[in-house]
Every structure is written in structure tokens, then in C-alpha cells.
């Protein structure tokens, strides 16, 4: 039987500073805990709505609230974490007593939470940035390029933890004994693909270039692209990005005319930036429009939205050219 390295061994042998190692160990342990709660479903009292809405006026599921509390508590107890921010919380939450060379952690505690009740994949997305000792909101508003680590826990057919510390992308699978084992030591996104992911029901709201790009894919072999495409949409970015990391593809959540003042639906700090770092570190491209790197977007608000077009590099170039 193959002997896989554990998360602890991987982290111990990595170039991450000791403080970051402690933060990542806390995140890994909490994702394993969340995986158990998600797997418990109705038995863990985890299904259904919580009866509250978040800062974005979205209905919160019970699990959104439970997982947000789990991450906030675990990270606040980690001495190197100077503060946390979450898609589910109105404001940043500084912790006490962190050193000057600590970190802030931003997270979407349960991405794709509309999938919970139908037993489809959901995940936890996280982004780690350097921080001064007593951070205020402005200290969280750093570009994605400043991230020292990013990743996600994916709770699907298997539970996986995908991580970058800026030296490529690795993947761990949760073993029956509760340990994360390094099953995917070098994840690379293929440069080409025949698969795209977008919510087609919004087609009538898209801008013309996005419509042209998707229409060219749909035209298949006899169209300008000269090949047939397949479409997938899990409605959980974490699962759609995971598919792209494993077998290539592109994922789009573009600007659309339903809320013209917003650049897109997804959140820059909790979804766009961490996924963009993973995709770039795996050799793909992560942009707002096929051209502008998400990691270069200068944030101006904690819950700001961003348009997303990411995945296989040559296919992202096709989006830019449409
Ligand atoms: P929820 O966490 O509210 O389910 O939203 C998930 C998400 O932000 C992202 O993970 C999906 O890619 C996207 O929304 C799905 O959006 P649609 O509702 O348009 O399918």
C-alpha cells in the first residue's frame, strides 16, 4: 500500500514560517471538524435554514452559522491570528495579543451552502494575509498578491484539503483516522480544455463578449472553435474550481445586467482571491474578464464583488479574445 505523507509532515518540511505553520494547522484541523458535521447532515442537526440573513442579505443555512462559529473560535484561539473576516460576518473581528508578524484569515465558511440540503458538495475557502498586531479593516484590504497561503476544504464524495503556500498546489484526502494525507503532491491545471462552467440560465443578462464566447463553445465541432464542448455547473465554486484543478476547464461568473452596479456575484476577498492564487499556482489563469488578473484587483470594501473567468490558460485567452 502507498505510504502517504501526513499534513503535519508536509507542513513541517515546508518553507512556511513557524507562525504560518500554526495558522495552517488550525485551518486543517477545523476543516476536518467541519467535514464531520457536514457528513452528519440531518443526524448532526445541520440541515435547513437558520432563520437569519447575512450582511449581503442572503438567507443563512444552519451550517453557514455553525461553520462560521467553528472557524472563528478556532482561529481566534491561535496566537498567530491577529483577526478574522468572513463572508457571513458584517465586520472584521480582531483578536487580542497577536504579535506584530501575525496573520489575518478571511474565509467563506461554507461555500455552496444551497447544496447542503440536497447532499451535493460544499466547501470552506480560506485566504491568509500578513497583518500588524491590532488590525483594522484597512489591514484586511490587501490585494490577492499579498496572500501567503490560500486553500479550501471540499466536502464531497471524499473530503479534501487543497493548499498553496506560494510553491505550487498540493491536495490532501481525509483518512478514516481523521488525518489529512498528501494524495495529490503536485496539482497542475491543463492548458487546454473542452469543458466550461457557467450558469447558463443567466445568458440573457450577460454582456455581449461572454455570450459570444459561450455561443462559440456551444457551436461545437462545426463552429469557429472546431471542437465539441461539455458543460458542468455544481453551483458551488469550490467544487467547480476543484474539477478544474483536477481535469482542466474554465469557470465564469461574469458581470450581468441584473445588478449592473456590481462587477459580479462572487466575493473578491473570500472566493476570488484564494481561488485565483490556487489557479495561478497550478499554472492556470484567473482573471475578471479574460485579461485582468484577479490577484491585482485593489480591494476597497470587505464584501466587494468581482467578476470571475478562470481556469485552463489557453481557454481563458479565448474568453479574452471573444
Ligand atoms: P451559496 O453559498 O449561497 O450557495 O452561493 C454559492 C456561490 O457563491 C458560488 O459558490 C457558486 O459558484 C455560485 O454562488 C452559484 O451561483 P448560482 O446561484 O447563480 O448558480
Q: How far apart are CA 36 and CA 181, in angstroms?
A: 16
> Is any ligand 1 atom within 6 A of the Cβ of residue 199?
yes
CA distances from 173 to 7, 79, 254 (A): 9, 27, 31
Beta carbon of 113 within 6 Å of any ligand 1 atom: yes
pLDDT at residue 55 greater than cutoff 80: no
Residue with cell 474539477: 243
Is the per-residue pLDDT at 183 higher than 80? yes
Ligand 1 pocket, 289 CB below 6 A? no
The pLDDT, as a whole number, for residue 190 is: 98
Q: Which of 92, 91, 123 is nearest to 109 (CA)?
A: 123
C-alpha cell at 306: 468581482
Distance 264 CA to ligand 1 centre (A): 12
Q: Report how far residue 159's alpha carbon sits from residue 139's, in angstroms, rounded to the nearest whole number.
A: 32
pLDDT band for position 1 (cuts 50, 70, 90): low
Q: Is the CB of 6 under 6 A from ligand 1?
A: no
Strand partners, 196: 231, 250
pLDDT for residue 97: 74
Q: Identify which of 118, 204, 236 to mutate to test ligand 1's pocket (most ligand atoms within 8 A of the CB).
A: 236
pLDDT of the residue at 181: 98
Residues in the chain: 322
CA-nearest residue for atom 1, ligand 1, is: 112
pLDDT over threshold 80, residue 248: yes
- What's the confidence (pLDDT) of residue 56? 72
Write down the mean pLDDT value for the chain.
95
Decide whether any atom of ligand 1 lies within 6 Å of the 237 Cβ. Answer: yes
Architecture in CATH of 195-321: 3-Layer(aba) Sandwich (3.40)
Instruction: Decide: 121 in ligand 1 pocket, CB within 6 A.
Output: no
Beta carbons of 187 and 169 less than 8 angstroms apart:
yes
Q: Which residues contact 62 (CB under 8 A, 6 or more apart)?
A: 45, 46, 47, 48, 49, 50
- Is residue 87 a contact partner of residue 93, using CB atoms and an 8 Å limit? no
- pLDDT digit string, tens, across residues 4-51: 999 999 999 999 999 999 999 999 999 999 999 999 988 888 787 777
Ligand 1, residue 240: give the atom nearest the CA. Answer: 12
Ligand 1 binding pocket includes 60 (Cβ within 6 Å)? no
Q: Which residues have C-beta within 8 Å of that of residue 287, sequence separation ≥ 6?
A: 293, 294, 308, 309, 310, 316, 319, 320
Nearest to 277 by CA among 109, 113, 151, 104: 151
First CA to last CA distance, the chain: 48
What is the Cα 138 distance to its own chain's centre?
A: 22
Residue 84: strand, helix, or coil: strand
Per-residue confidence (pLDDT) for residue 2, from 0 to 100: 81
State if residue 235 touches ligand 1 by the CB under 6 angstroms criterion: yes
- What mean pLDDT comes out for the span 294-315? 98
CA 234 / ligand 1 centre spacing (Å): 9
Centroid of ligand 1 to alpha carbon of 238 (angstroms): 9
Domain ranges of the chain: 7-184, 195-321
Calculate mean pLDDT across residues 200-204.
98
CA distance 43 to 57: 28
What would be the CATH architecture of the domain defined by 7-184?
A: 2-Layer Sandwich (3.30)
Among protein residues, the one with the nearest Cα to ligand 1's atom 2 is: 112
Which string of b and e fits 8-34 if b means at least 16 CB within 10 Å? eebbeebebeebbbbbbebbbebbbbb
Q: Is the Cβ–Cβ distance between 71 and 78 less than 8 Å?
A: no
pLDDT above 70 covers a percentage of the chain that reads: 100
CA 99 / ligand 1 centre spacing (Å) = 36
CA–CA gap between residue 145 and residue 167 (Å, rounded): 13
Task: Tell me which residue of 295, 315, 297, 287 sits closest to 189, measured CA to CA.
Answer: 315
Q: Is the pLDDT reported for residue 164 higher than 80?
A: yes
For 220-243, what is each residue's pLDDT tens digit? 999 999 999 999 999 999 999 999
Residue 286 is predicted with a pLDDT of 98
Distances in whole angstroms, Cα of residue 100 to Cα of each of 70, 85, 93: 25, 18, 17
d(CA 232, CA 241): 11
The DSSP H or E segment spanning 125 is: strand 122-131
pLDDT greater than 80 at residue 89: yes
Average pLDDT over residues 130-142: 95
**Does the beta carbon of 114 sit less than 6 angstroms from any atom of ligand 1?**
yes
* Cβ of 49 below 6 Å from ligand 1: no
Answer yes or no: is the C-beta of 106 below 6 A from any ligand 1 atom: no
Name the residue at shortest CA distance from atom 13 of ligand 1.
Answer: 235
What residue's CA is closest to ligand 1, atom 6?
Answer: 112
> pLDDT tens digit string along 115-132?
988 999 999 999 999 999
Whether residue 236 has its Cβ less than 6 Å from ligand 1: yes
Q: Place 176 in a pLDDT band, splitting at 50, 70 and 90.
A: very high
Q: Which residue's CA is the closest to the ligand 1 atom numbered 20?
A: 235
Cβ 208 vs Cβ 245: under 8 Å: no
- CA nearest to 76, candidates 27, 10, 127: 27
* CATH topology identical between 7-184 and 195-321: no
Read off the C-alpha cell for 220: 461545437
Amino acid at each position: 500500500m502507498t505510504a502517504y505523507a501526513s499534513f503535519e509532515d508536509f507542513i513541517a518540511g515546508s518553507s512556511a514560517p513557524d507562525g504560518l505553520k500554526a495558522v495552517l494547522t488550525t485551518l486543517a484541523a477545523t476543516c476536518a471538524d467541519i467535514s464531520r458535521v457536514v457528513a452528519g447532515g440531518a443526524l448532526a442537526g445541520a440541515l435547513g435554514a437558520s432563520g437569519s440573513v447575512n450582511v449581503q442579505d442572503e438567507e443563512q443555512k444552519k451550517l453557514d452559522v455553525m461553520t462560521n462559529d467553528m472557524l472563528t473560535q478556532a482561529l481566534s484561539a491561535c496566537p498567530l491570528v491577529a483577526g478574522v473576516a468572513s463572508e457571513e460576518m458584517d465586520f472584521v473581528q480582531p483578536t487580542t495579543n497577536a504579535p506584530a508578524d501575525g496573520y489575518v484569515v478571511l474565509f467563506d465558511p461554507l461555500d455552496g451552502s444551497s447544496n447542503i440540503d440536497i447532499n451535493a458538495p460544499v466547501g470552506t475557502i480560506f485566504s491568509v494575509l500578513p497583518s500588524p498586531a491590532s488590525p483594522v479593516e484597512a489591514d484586511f484590504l490587501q490585494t490577492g498578491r499579498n496572500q501567503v497561503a490560500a486553500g479550501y476544504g471540499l466536502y464531497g464524495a471524499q473530503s479534501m484539503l487543497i493548499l498553496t503556500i506560494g510553491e505550487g498546489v498540493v491536495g490532501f484526502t481525509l483518512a478514516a483516522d481523521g488525518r489529512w494525507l498528501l494524495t495529490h503532491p503536485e496539482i497542475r491545471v491543463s492548458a487546454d480544455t473542452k469543458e466550461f462552467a457557467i450558469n447558463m440560465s443567466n445568458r440573457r443578462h450577460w454582456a455581449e463578449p461572454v455570450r459570444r464566447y459561450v455561443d462559440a463553445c456551444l457551436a461545437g465541432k462545426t463552429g469557429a472553435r472546431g471542437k465539441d464542448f461539455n458543460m458542468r455547473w455544481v453551483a458551488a465554486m469550490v467544487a467547480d474550481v476543484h474539477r478544474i484543478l483536477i481535469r482542466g476547464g474554465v469557470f465564469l461568473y461574469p458581470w450581468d445586467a441584473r445588478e449592473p452596479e456590481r462587477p459580479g456575484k462572487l466575493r473578491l476577498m473570500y472566493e476570488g482571491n484564494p481561488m485565483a492564487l490556487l489557479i495561478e499556482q497550478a499554472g492556470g489563469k484567473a482573471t475578471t474578464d479574460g485579461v485582468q488578473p484577479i490577484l491585482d484587483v485593489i480591494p476597497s470594501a470587505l464584501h466587494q464583488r468581482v467578476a470571475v473567468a478562470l481556469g485552463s490558460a489557453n481557454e481563458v485567452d479565448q474568453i479574452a479574445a471573444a
